[in-house]
Amino acid sequence: MRRGQSVLLWIAVGVLAVLAVVAVFPGMLATHDPLQTDVRSALLPPSGEHLFGTDQSGRDVYSRVVFGAGRSIGIGLLATGIALIAGLIVGALAGLAPRPVDTALMRVNDVLMAFPEFLVALVVVAVLGPGPVNIAIAVTLAAAPVYVRLARVQTRTLRVAEHVEAARILGVPPAQAFVRHVVPGVLGSLSVLATIGVGSSILAAAGLSFLGLGPSEPTPEWGLMLAGGRNVLGQAWWIAVFPGIAITVTVIAATIVGRVLRARAEGRRA
């Protein structure tokens, strides 16, 4: 790995570490109650008292961004984790199943992959209804097909690998050989993909919230805050800009880590 790439990786990891602390301990970092309103302090610009200014209801934008980190990042992590597990199960099943079953599963998967992830998530939320739980379900269903395809390819490749064949020759039961020698390899590839996928999931969840399909006011959530500031962007730019920066930095950092890890994994295979 080149030195510049290594430095970029560590910067991104540092950013994600800071975001993790913010998401887990928002109460220690916030300066105000994120739900407290004060109409006399509405639309105040950034200052020493309100680092990121205040919104239309006089709520402290900095504190809302801090408390919104846990919700926004949490939805992305939850959706990515479930998508990874579902992708592993369905992809491994397709990779091990007889050809008709494999074909049927992958045709359904291909149909889902033919549409943009955000569009799939939007349709799912439209069917299930708005809310944070339904957003997590929608983002999971939208992201899962990519994991299914990768898990299937890896399963079909690893099940005929030399070390797996050697285990079978030595009398290791097929199920045990699969769990011990195939699953770890598949999980490794899926984990690298998931690192990139977290950023996409966070972005998708924020996009759905921006459209009014996620949490409702006054819940502090980055996408919802972004939507709340769009109508007063010329008058109070800080309401939308700071949540937007939080989303952008999180997605870029996660993507950098994922791409560097993928490059390293491909380098080892080469």
52 close to 15: Cβ distance less than 8 angstroms: no
H helices present in 159-237, as ranges: 162-169, 174-177, 183-210, 222-229
Q: Which residues contact 235 (CB under 8 A, 6 or more apart)?
A: 43
Looking at per-residue confidence, does 177 or 129 come out higher? 129
Fold assignment, 3-269: MetI-like fold (1.10.3720)
pLDDT band at 164 (very low <50, low <70, confident <90, very high): confident
Is pTM beyond 0.95? Reply is no
Q: Which residues of 142-163 are buried (b: 16+ CB within 10 A; e: fewer)?
A: bbbbbbbbbbbebbbebbeeee
Cα-based angle 110, 135, 208 (whole degrees, multiple of 5): 90
Chain mean position to CA 231: 27
Q: What stretch of H or E contains 267?
A: helix 238-269
Q: How far apart are CA 75 and CA 70, in angstroms?
A: 8
Q: Is the pLDDT reported for residue 270 higher than 60?
A: no
Average pLDDT across the chain, whole number: 91
Q: What stretch of H or E contains 69?
A: helix 61-96
Chain mean position to CA 12: 15
Residue 172, φ and ψ in degrees, nearest 5? -70, 130
Tokens of 57: 């209801």
pLDDT band at 265 (very low <50, low <70, confident <90, very high): confident
Q: Among residues of the chain, what percentage have pLDDT more than 90?
A: 71
Q: Is the pLDDT reported for residue 3 higher than 70?
A: no
List, for residues 67-116, the tens digit of each pLDDT value.
Answer: 999 999 999 999 999 999 999 999 999 998 899 999 999 999 999 999 99
pLDDT at 50: 95
pLDDT at 34: 95
pLDDT at 168: 78
| Domain boundaries, given as residue ranges, for the chain | 3-269
